[in-house]
A = this chain, B = another copy of it.
Amino acid sequence: MRTNRAFKGICVLGGLAYSVYGVAQDRPNIIVFLVDDMGLMDTSVPFLTDDNGQPVRHSLNDWYHTPNMERLAKQGICFSTFYAQSVSSPSRASIMTGQNATRHGVTNWISAESNNRNTFGPPEWNWEGLREDMPTMPKVLQQAGYKTIHIGKAHFGCIGSEGEDPLRLGFDLNIAGSAIGHPGSYYGEWGYGHIKGQKARAVPDLEKYHGTDTFLSEALTIEANREITKAVEEKRPFYLNMSHYAVHSPFQADKRFLSRYTDPDKSEKAKAFATLIEGMDKSLGDIMDQLEKLEIAENTLIFFLGDNGGDAPLGDARGYGSSAPLRGKKGTEFEGGMRVPFIVGWAKPEKKSKIQKRLPIEVGGMQTQLGTIMDIYPTVLSVAGCKVPQNYVLDGFDLKKQLSGKVNRKRPESFLMHFPHAHNGSYFTSYRMGDWKLIYYYRPETPKQPTVSLYNLKNDPEERNELSSTHPDKCKEMIRKMSEQLEKEGALYPVDEQGNELKPFVYF
């Protein structure tokens, strides 16, 4: 564990000043429970809905076992259409800043060691990650008197960068977070990579569990529950970034759950992955239990989410597999690459609760209007009673209305995911606008000849029928609007052989 020795009783940011002590009772505790590489279908909770907004179970919902997500879903509201970025670092930076990847500049996953630039990727992308001068969500909360706790995967910046250390980004406390993006091992017996496994990705701070049979997700949960208890003893509202290394590779089985997964058609890796999911789900339940035991459940708000499209070892990157029936997976331009599970609920719903009146949440609800990973920042600050720092540009929307089960008619039905890199395919921007989705492929080898795909997600949520040739006008309209938004948000673009920026244009 590392704590921020520089932390002082009174802090000032953006004109706000709070006393740290004596404000615990009227503000909620907030937990962002973030699961690495968890896609929309990696759960027994059905998120996909029929035309009437009713959840529909698919076969993957019957394969996975996540009773505690089901418990939270019954107490809160699920989003059928919640967009994240298709890889991890851009999403994490969006949670921390409330900005789109185009704006914070972390458009690709951060390599701990170096600039993770593809051949044609923009040279100036923000490969180092978050900086100390950014008004991150924990920083605003910290300066408003919250105890801010980071547990688990951080990966906010590369080795040697400011963002490498969560304590420089607004956390009072950091357990097990560093520049690494996945664990050297999940096994306590292996010292989480220190004894055996990938040593360069060994998880810090958990020495007391080395050589024991404590699985990584379990160790992080024990640490989290202890820190929650401490914060309560200190009578301080807390913000907990509960950031699991699970369910990212390496797909090492959590033996406590392996006996449940016996489908002979599934690989050993797929079974191990399912145990990672169930172990992560147990963590959610254990924390909810602890909140109840401490009698703070009705004052504690939980945001549960995955950080990018699924990466379950169940098939092809760009076809139908890990996120079926959605198409694609982590790193792709398809819905399976961008849609994540999102549940928000009070740990114990209580109609009469004063604190809950700040943010009424539909119990057992299903919200089909879209939301995005940029919305967490303004929603959390709002419910915590914090103002967004002055002159700060936000791309997210406060989810308050949507969490109550209603439609927010003020938010545009659009989401722009800009990926000027190559991962499971090409340099692209995915742009959702209403029922339509355009995918614009930059073609750096032939810069005057980009290509596009067009889908109607309402009629074709699985992206099977590509419509660009029959709907050229829709393509033109969307390329124009997409370009405007990219420019407005300060996007960087892939470059051609000569280093010229490839700004999108109507080429046909």
Contacts and interface: CB of A to CB of B under 8 A. Distances in A.
A317 B424 CA distance: 20
A167 B164 CA distance: 55
A469 B443 contact: no
Nearest to A447: B466
Contact of A451 (B445, B453, B466): B445
B452 A441 contact: no
Given A318-B497, A319-B497, A445 B426 contact: yes
Nearest to A439: B445
A441 B448 contact: no
Nearest to A316: B119
A119 B446 contact: no
Contacts of A466: 446, 448
A445 B449 CA distance: 14
Given A119-B425, A318-B119, A497-B319, A443 B451 contact: yes
Contact of A441 (B428, B443, B453): B443
Interface residues of A, number: 24
A452 B446 contact: yes
Nearest to A450: B451
B318 A424 contact: no
A451 B318 CA distance: 21
B445 A443 contact: no
Nearest to A499: B319
Number of copies of this protein chain within its complex: 2
Contact of A453 (B119, B316, B425, B446): B446
Interface in A256-313: none
B424 A119 contact: yes
Contacts of A468: 446, 449
A317 B119 contact: yes
Interface string A447-465: 0110111000000000000
Nearest to A428: B445
Contact of A443 (B119, B443, B497): B443
Most buried by B among A333, A445, A453: A445
A403 to B, nearest CB: 36
A485 to B, nearest CB: 22
Given A119-B318, A317-B119, A318-B119, A445 B469 contact: no
Nearest to A463: B497
A118 to B, nearest CB: 10
Nearest to A448: B469
Contacts of A426: 426, 445
Nearest to A333: B445
Interface string A417-428: 000000011101
Query: Closest 10 CB pairs between A and B?
Result: A449-B451, A446-B451, A443-B451, A446-B453, A318-B497, A319-B497, A425-B445, A441-B445, A426-B445, A119-B317
